[in-house]
A and B are shown apart, each in its own frame.
Chain A
């Protein structure tokens, strides 16, 4: 029982990181029909930003305030990833509308460049972030330990999810975004600046990946391939959950995250990967478009 709860907790923790990375993927794919292979590199950017902010704090600030670095690094990671995302959309993605497969390949080229840039700047060796003191340790309930940093990640993801929900469903911008997603030409006729909507949405998705990078930094060492290990799972979550609906992405990442942790716990990490893949393929037999689909009579969608 205790083991089960610990596994469940770890599963939720992995799911929440996958959720953060797949949110951006799902929304950009739903909006622009563009798959961003460089998304994992935004996770990497976020993680390295955490490291940079920590280094700055170690250098310039007294010991007593050093723990705040982590709080500062979250908006910093978001901001930098947002900026990179906006630039990437402006110069590359915007030329690839509707060319799904080509967008996947072009962004792979970007991902190669970003990875090499990280290696040139930070070296090939992984760097480590020391968790702030308030995230060390954990609480113990009935024999299960819940580490603070995983709880913190979980809460942070919930907050991000809430933010995305408010933006998507309660704000004027979100209304425009959903309109463009459902019918681009019609939305343009209504005077929505779809180029701007695309750009901001893409940048927001990248920013979320940056925040995911912050949480990844807490869990292990950071190197140029840190994003890659999460990105395959995120892609699967998007495929499973379907695009364009928040609920689909949440459900997709929860299934992928929990399934891989549970199978990993009772078998091995190798078999877990195979089983997760199997689950996705079986699901797709029934629902080739994913669990949640925006209903459309368009044949080629």
Chain B
């Protein structure tokens, strides 16, 4: 029994989170929760999804992307464009009028129907990350150099989205949209909200399963090999840059899916979702939850956001900024494994695993 708990620890933990979330609509119906909390938890599901993607690329492969906000927002915008056209009935929007456009611009055309929109949600970030990743990883740019480039990429994209205001509505972003299943506000639309919530939960489970599936086999071992000794992996005959590009694209697509889910709950998307600060916030979730564990990303995303949701209003907003900064700093300095790593180190089920983890951190320091 104990052995199973050890082996399946993360899966059990994930199942626990899923069951808790599945009970949320029930609790809402029973009047134990208000609707904004449910919407907020829906957003958390999206955050957990993007965190899992980040964990794949950072925790497992050791590539720190400071630009996942870009892919998150690309997915979000794609979804929002479809939803906006749904609410205008395929006509051009107000901000396009203001921007001087007479008819629907070509880039908006694919978003007139749902299947094509979903294709675009996946295709656009995949192409962008694929091209960027191909050129960067081919020239063996790595470590902080990559982080800086990804940061600059987000920065450039951010200012571009603001500048192209007839197409994207600039700073304001795309607002006043309903979810895929229609309006989710109010008692009458409770069914829509539940449907959306459970579908999002399903997406989260699928992504978790996919990540676990990938890291559980040779592919996952290879990612760790790249993280711990990139040159050795090259010398063993693997085309490291291809693996890196693949993981980058995969995590970008996961981020985009998360963005699409997010928009449904949030009801709007703004360029602030693709800032550098927002992208690093995502890294904070993974770092505090525990990198390289997948479940850590989920825990981190929920925990940090729940804290922020409860603390960052009114007088606490200042303290929250100090707190998150200090927490992040201390986690990186002293608890490299985050929450999951801490639990693993302090409750070692079998004696073999603990020294191995110790040795790994020692090695990483050298």
Is A66 in contact with chain B by the CB < 8 A criterion? no
Closest B residue to A101 using CB positions: B64
Shortest Cβ distance from residue B221 to the other chain A in the assembled complex, whole angstroms: 21
- Roughly how many angstroms separate A268 CA and B163 CA in the complex, as a whole number? 9
Partner of B149, one of A108, A269, A273, A280: A280
CB pair B155 A232 closer than 8 Å: yes
Partner of A92, one of B136, B322, B333, B364: B333
With a CB–CB cut-off of 8 A, which chain A residues contact B332? 96, 102, 105-106, 109
With a CB–CB cut-off of 8 A, which chain B residues contact A111? 325
CB pair A109 B64 closer than 8 Å: no
Stretch at the interface among A54-62, A79-87, A112-120, A197-205: A112-120
Chain B positions 189-205 with a Cβ under 8 Å from a chain A Cβ: none
CB pair A110 B148 closer than 8 Å: no
With a CB–CB cut-off of 8 A, which chain A residues contact B147? 35, 101, 104
Given contacts A112-B328, A113-B322, A299-B231, are A277 and B145 in contact (CB under 8 A)? no
CB pair A105 B231 closer than 8 Å: no
With a CB–CB cut-off of 8 A, which chain A residues contact B153? 277
- Roughly how many angstroms separate A112 CA and B332 CA in the complex, as a whole number? 14
Is A2 in contact with chain B by the CB < 8 A criterion? no
Closest B residue to A91 using CB positions: B333
- Roughly how many angstroms separate A285 CA and B137 CA in the complex, as a whole number? 9
With a CB–CB cut-off of 8 A, which chain A residues contact B132? 281
CB pair A300 B231 closer than 8 Å: yes
Shortest Cβ distance from residue A240 to the other chain B in the assembled complex, whole angstroms: 10
Closest A residue to B132 using CB positions: A281
Is A27 in contact with chain B by the CB < 8 A criterion? no
Is B354 in contact with chain A by the CB < 8 A criterion? no
Is B209 in contact with chain A by the CB < 8 A criterion? no
CB pair A239 B364 closer than 8 Å: no
- Roughly how many angstroms separate A285 CA and B160 CA in the complex, as a whole number? 24
Is A17 in contact with chain B by the CB < 8 A criterion? no
Is B366 in contact with chain A by the CB < 8 A criterion? yes
CB pair B321 A113 closer than 8 Å: yes
With a CB–CB cut-off of 8 A, which chain A residues contact B145? 239, 284, 288
- Roughly how many angstroms separate A300 CA and B283 CA in the complex, as a whole number? 25
Interface size on B, residues (CB 8 A): 47
- Roughly how many angstroms separate A120 CA and B317 CA in the complex, as a whole number? 11
Partner of B144, one of A100, A116, A280: A100
With a CB–CB cut-off of 8 A, which chain A residues contact B318? 116, 119-120
- Roughly how many angstroms separate A278 CA and B363 CA in the complex, as a whole number? 36
Shortest Cβ distance from residue A207 to the other chain B in the assembled complex, whole angstroms: 22
CB pair B322 A105 closer than 8 Å: no
CB pair B159 A273 closer than 8 Å: yes
Is B329 in contact with chain A by the CB < 8 A criterion? yes
Interface centre among A96, A104, A111 (most CB of B within 10 A): A104
Given contacts A113-B325, A236-B152, are A95 and B333 in contact (CB under 8 A)? yes
Is A196 in contact with chain B by the CB < 8 A criterion? no
- Roughly how many angstroms separate A273 CA and B276 CA in the complex, as a whole number? 14
Is B139 in contact with chain A by the CB < 8 A criterion? yes
Is B135 in contact with chain A by the CB < 8 A criterion? yes
Shortest Cβ distance from residue A242 to the other chain B in the assembled complex, whole angstroms: 10
CB pair A99 B364 closer than 8 Å: yes
Closest A residue to B155 using CB positions: A232
Is B141 in contact with chain A by the CB < 8 A criterion? yes
Is A294 in contact with chain B by the CB < 8 A criterion? no
Is B357 in contact with chain A by the CB < 8 A criterion? no
Closest A residue to B62 using CB positions: A101
Given contacts A113-B321, A119-B318, are A108 and B139 in contact (CB under 8 A)? no
- Chain A proximity mask over B121-153: 1 for CB below 8 Å, otherwise 0: 000000000001001101111011101110111
Is B156 in contact with chain A by the CB < 8 A criterion? yes
Is A270 in contact with chain B by the CB < 8 A criterion? yes
With a CB–CB cut-off of 8 A, which chain A residues contact B148? 35, 235-236, 238-239
Chain B positions 324-365 with a Cβ under 8 Å from a chain A Cβ: 324-330, 332-333, 336, 364-365
Given contacts A236-B152, A299-B231, are A104 and B325 in contact (CB under 8 A)? no
Is B162 in contact with chain A by the CB < 8 A criterion? yes
- Roughly how many angstroms separate A104 CA and B62 CA in the complex, as a whole number? 13
Shortest Cβ distance from residue A271 to the other chain B in the assembled complex, whole angstroms: 8
| 17 A-B interface contacts by CB (under 8 A) | A35-B148, A100-B143, A102-B332, A109-B324, A109-B327, A109-B329, A109-B332, A115-B321, A232-B151, A238-B148, A270-B163, A273-B155, A281-B132, A281-B136, A288-B139, A288-B145, A299-B231
Q: Which residues of B contact A (CB under 8 A)?
A: 62, 64, 132, 135-136, 138-141, 143-145, 147-149, 151-153, 155-156, 159-160, 162-164, 231, 276, 280, 283-284, 287, 318, 321-322, 324-330, 332-333, 336, 364-366
A-B pairs, top 6 by smallest CB distance, nearest first, are A109-B329, A112-B325, A116-B321, A109-B328, A113-B325, A270-B163
Q: Other CB < 8 Å A-B pairs besides A104-B147, A285-B135, 6 of them? A: A109-B327, A109-B330, A113-B329, A270-B159, A273-B155, A284-B141
